[in-house]
């Protein structure tokens, strides 16, 4: 049996599209956990009471916390399947996804990685939101070496587009961080550490959407601070569990946090305090390459270009 866990917040129409992309059959369990939605409640209640969706288990986050991590953990407690997929309420599965994943149900793998795709909702054109994860899949399939495996294990930091054996999560007490941002980073790192057998497929089963206000990178210091805390925990987790050779291969650092703080205009004081916090926790920020001004300008320019491309999609 397959279970699919979906956190939801204020996106009933997209949630309906996602549910409709999942086949209605007895060996597929769909769990939706609402994260204290405060808009279009009437439509949400109508969906929950609609007989056409009586195969969906609708739950509510009634804890004193908020966030997708809390909702995913609530959903995990109700999972009945041997395998689990995670989806975000504003995304959807491809038409033939179930026929693809079911081939792995009798395998002895702990995780199967699939190639994701993404679209821009406003135009229907292919987006770039999935690119970094697609590249990891392609790299592993083409090279199948230690570096590409480490990248899959520890840098595929989203929960979607992975078929995960439920026993792997239960036996290793793996759950999501119940924080307001980056709830999936440590979850994915732990899955990567504890999985033994895994497979990688070039088949596409999941489509991420990109729309105005949809990106999880918000221009907000509270969310930035949460991301920083999670990044520090993530780096320390990998430093504890990986060899120095492996750490060099994945190029573990805190530079991204510095770039993001600069680009989002948090001010010099915030940038400096972020640097100090990273260094106090033993996380490399800069190395000798950064003494080369050309290298430094290229790095900052690349991050600014990415930010500029995504600016209209950011929520404030």
Q: What is the mean pLDDT of residues 291-312?
A: 62
Of 117-126, 140-149, 162-171, 175-184, the poorest mean pLDDT is in 117-126
Q: What is the mean pLDDT of residues 138-151?
A: 97
Tell me what pLDDT residue 143 has: 97
Tell me what pLDDT residue 122 has: 83
What is the Cα gyration radius of the chain? Answer: 20
For tokens 């026993």, name the residue.
167
Tell me what pLDDT residue 217 has: 41
For the chain, percent of residues with pLDDT exceeding 70 = 88
pLDDT digits (tens, 9 = 90+) for 10-26: 999 999 999 999 999 99
56-71 CB burial, b ≥16 within 10 A, e <16: bbbbebeeeeebbbbb
The band of 306, judged by pLDDT with boundaries at 50, 70 and 90, is: low
For the record, the structure tokens of 295 come out as 């290298």
In a 10 Å sphere around its CB, with 0-12 CB exposed, 13-18 middle and 19+ buried, how is residue 7 labelled?
Answer: buried
Long-range contacts of 118-121 (CB under 8 A, 24+ apart): 118/207, 118/208, 118/209, 118/210, 119/207, 119/208, 119/209, 119/210, 120/209, 120/210, 120/211, 121/209, 121/210, 121/211, 121/214
Contact 87, 4 (CB under 8 A): yes
In sequence order, the 6+-apart residues with CB closer than 8 A to the CB of 234 are 185, 186, 189
Tell me what pLDDT residue 138 has: 97
pLDDT digits (tens, 9 = 90+) for 26-42: 999 999 999 999 999 99
Helix axes 221-241, 255-263, angle to 10 degrees: 170
Tell me what pLDDT residue 232 has: 97
Statement: residue 292 has pLDDT above 80: no
The band of 215, judged by pLDDT with boundaries at 50, 70 and 90, is: very low
Tell me what pLDDT residue 172 has: 99
- From residue 204, give the alpha-carbon distance in Å to each of 115, 156, 161, 245, 298: 5, 16, 8, 32, 33
Domain layout of the chain by residue ranges: 2-210, 221-313
Class of domain 2-210 as given by CATH = alpha beta
């Amino acid at each position: 049996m397959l279970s699919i866990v979906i956190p939801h917040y204020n996106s009933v129409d997209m949630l309906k599209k996602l549910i409709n992309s999942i086949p209605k059959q007895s060996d597929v369990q769909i769990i939706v956990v609402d994260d204290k939605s405060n808009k279009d409640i009437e439509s949400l209640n109508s969906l929950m009471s609609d007989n056409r969706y009586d195969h969906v288990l609708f739950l509510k986050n009634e804890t004193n916390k908020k966030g997708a991590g809390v909702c995913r953990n609530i959903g995990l407690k109700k999972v009945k399947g041997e395998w689990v997929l995670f989806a975000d309420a504003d995304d959807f599965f491809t038409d033939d996804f179930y026929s693809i994943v079911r081939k792995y149900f009798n395998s002895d793998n702990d995780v199967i990685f699939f190639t994701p795709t993404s679209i821009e909702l406003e135009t229907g054109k292919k987006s770039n939101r999935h690119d970094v994860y697609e590249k990891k899949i392609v790299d592993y399939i083409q090279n199948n070496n230690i570096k590409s495996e480490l990248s899959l294990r520890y840098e595929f930091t989203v929960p979607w587009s992975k078929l995960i054996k439920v026993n792997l999560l239960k036996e290793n007490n793996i759950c999501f961080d119940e924080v307001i941002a980056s709830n999936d980073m440590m979850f994915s790192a732990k899955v990567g550490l504890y999985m033994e057998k895994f497979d990688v497929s070039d088949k596409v089963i999941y489509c991420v959407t990109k729309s105005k206000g949809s990106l999880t990178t918000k221009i907000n210091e509270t969310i930035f601070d949460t991301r920083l805390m999670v990044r520090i925990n993530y780096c320390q987790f990998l430093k504890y569990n990986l060899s120095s050779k492996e750490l060099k291969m994945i190029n573990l650092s805190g530079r991204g946090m510095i770039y993001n703080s600069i680009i989002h205009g948090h001010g010099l004081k915030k940038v400096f305090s972020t640097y100090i916090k990273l260094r106090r926790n033993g996380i490399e920020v800069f190395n000798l390459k950064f003494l080369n001004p050309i290298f430094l300008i290229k790095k900052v320019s690349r991050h600014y270009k990415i930010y500029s491309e995504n600016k209209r999609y950011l929520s404030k």
